[in-house]
Amino acid sequence: MIVIGLTGSIGMGKSTTAGLFADEGVPVNDADKVVHDLYRNEAVKPISEVFPNTIVGGVVDRQLLSQNLAKNPANFKLLEEIVHPLVRDREKRFLDHHREQGTPVVVLDIPLLFETGGEVRMDKIVVVSCAPEIQRQRVLSRPRMTQDKFETILARQMPDAEKRARADYVIDTGQGIDSARAQVRSILNELSKQSGSANHA
Ligand SMILES: CC(C)(COP(=O)(O)OP(=O)(O)OC[C@H]1O[C@@H](n2cnc3c(N)ncnc32)[C@H](O)[C@@H]1O)[C@@H](O)C(=O)NCCC(=O)NCCS
Ligand SMILES: Nc1ncnc2c1ncn2[C@@H]1O[C@H](COP(=O)(O)OP(=O)(O)OP(=O)(O)O)[C@@H](O)[C@H]1O
């Protein structure tokens, strides 16, 4: 099974591109979605012990958590120590399941792939990227996004140029969906040729 790590800085188009892989029939594990689900399940108890004011109605309120983090960026570390091991557990279950099923290619969509040293677990790394002005415009147009929150998150991420330098493939998401779809198809074609020739070697 080929494990593709899909990453990129905030607003560069990870989720959209993950959707394009899914359209081609590739199973995707989305780390942000996993985090959101954990906040309704197994992460509630440990987070309530460290950030009691962020629990509303028995679940973690991401807006309250974001406000806390914008005020105290040092708290990211405490939060990540709780969340990242739980995210890894879910990832492992996803990979085990697809190995058992004989799935040829899967995508792990991980915003902090490089920052958490995850690249060693991937066979190939795809980085999504676009011009910084487009990135800023996309992110600031989101509801509840502020300049402060954007800057806080960006400061915790590896610069885009460094990510691109470490990638096996870079997808430019600044040229529209059709272009991104064509880039996804071309990557999958190339990988299937590579694994085909490896099998016949
Ligand atoms: C900060 C939180 C509350 C913001 O929630 P919100 O719903 O507004 O955004 P969402 O979760 O969709 O994340 C949006 C983007 O922010 C960036 N981001 C999220 N967490 C982090 C982080 N710890 N460090 C750097 N960037 C981050 C990523 O690019 C991500 O794709 C949330 O992202 C969170 O709990 N993060 C901590 C867990 C984590 O590290 N997640 C990253 C993937 S494992
Ligand atoms: N190839 C593309 N062409 C046009 N617009 C795109 C493309 N890819 C992404 N976008 C747009 O950019 C915005 C951000 O995309 P997306 O949510 O996929 O980013 P992300 O990297 O997952 O963000 P985050 O890091 O916050 O999770 C969305 O409004 C999306 O419609």
52-70 residue pLDDT tens:
999 999 999 999 999 999 8
Of the candidates 130, 177, 167, which has an alpha carbon nearest to the alpha carbon of residue 11?
130
87 CB within 6 A, ligand 1:
yes
Rounded to an integer, what distance in angstroms lies between the CA atom of residue 20 and that of residue 26? 9
Rounded to an integer, what distance in angstroms lies between the CA atom of residue 190 and that of residue 194? 6
145 CB within 6 A, ligand 1:
no
Residue 12 is assigned to a ligand binding site: yes
Q: What is the mean pLDDT of residues 153-168?
A: 96
177 CB within 6 A, ligand 2:
yes
The pLDDT of residue 80 is 95
The pLDDT of residue 201 is 42
Residue 16 is assigned to a ligand binding site: yes
Q: Whose alpha carbon is nearest atom 13 of ligand 1?
A: 32
Residue 200 scores a pLDDT above 50: no
E strands present in the chain: 2-7, 28-30, 55-56, 59-60, 105-109, 124-129, 169-172
Q: CATH top-level class for 2-189?
A: alpha beta
149 CB within 6 A, ligand 2:
no
The number of the ligand nearest the C-alpha atom of 38 reads: 1
Instruction: Look up the pTM and report it.
Output: 0.92
* Sequence-separated (6 or more) residues with CB below 8 Å from residue 44: 55, 58, 59, 60
Residue 14 is assigned to a ligand binding site: yes
ipTM greater than 0.95, yes or no? no
Q: Whose alpha carbon is nearest atom 16 of ligand 1?
A: 10
> How is residue 114 written in tokens?
């490089």
The pLDDT of residue 197 is 60
Q: Is 29 helix (H, G, I), strand (E, B) or coil?
A: strand
The pLDDT of residue 195 is 79
28-30 and 2-7: which strand pairing?
unpaired
**119-146 residue pLDDT tens:** 999 999 999 999 999 999 999 999 989 9
